[in-house]
Structure 1
């Protein structure tokens, strides 16, 4: 799995960017953050290794999907994190499944 420059969620292209020392409104450090209003997903490159960045990207994508479909888990960090880690394992363990037939 590679980290793209952008990812489409619900018909909206989200730019994937890197930003050092991401913080939430309360001053707590974050590994990643999605902004629906700016259509961006930011990853902190120094807060994690490459595998962590990929898992964090999937975590933020899961937030985007949950928000798009108005799912009740959209703010449930624990559930979103478990779904993202599970999806990451499927992608890593089955790489051929995600290759184009073209």
Structure 2
């Protein structure tokens, strides 16, 4: 999977920024975060495997979907769902091609 520089989630456009070092969000060290108001997804760019970086991207996109859909998922629900979605995408890339 190629992580894009921009992604559209619902009606919102997000810029995807990679940062050197850990992402700090709400005083916690994270692999990534999403800021709904400014339309920015930040991903840690150092010390992550390709799988971890891609899974972190999917995780933040699930947060974006949750925001647009107003489903109020907990962090644990987002974590579990994003891991499952990432596995589906990684294990079945042919279903996403024309």
Q: TM-score, normalised by structure 2?
A: 0.92
Match of 1:3, SS?
Answer: coil
The structural deviation recorded for 1:77 is: 1.4
* CA–CA separation in structure 2 for the residues paired with 1:67 and 1:25: 17
The answer to whether the 8 Å contact 1:31/1:47 transfers is no
Tell me, yes or no, if structure 1 residue 5 matches structure 2 residue 2.
no
Structure 1 gap segments, 5+ residues each: none
Structure 2 gap segments, 5+ residues each: none
The structural deviation recorded for 1:47 is: 4.3
Tell me, yes or no, if structure 1 residue 83 matches structure 2 residue 81.
yes
> What's 1:38 paired with?
38
> What's 1:99 paired with?
97
Tell me, yes or no, if structure 1 residue 63 matches structure 2 residue 43.
no
Write out the 4+ residue segments of structure 1 that deviate beyond 2 Å after TM superposition: none
Match of 2:4, SS?
Answer: coil
Q: CA RMSD in A?
A: 1.1
> What's 1:18 paired with?
18
Count of residue pairs brought into register by the alignment = 97
Q: TM-score, normalised by structure 1?
A: 0.89
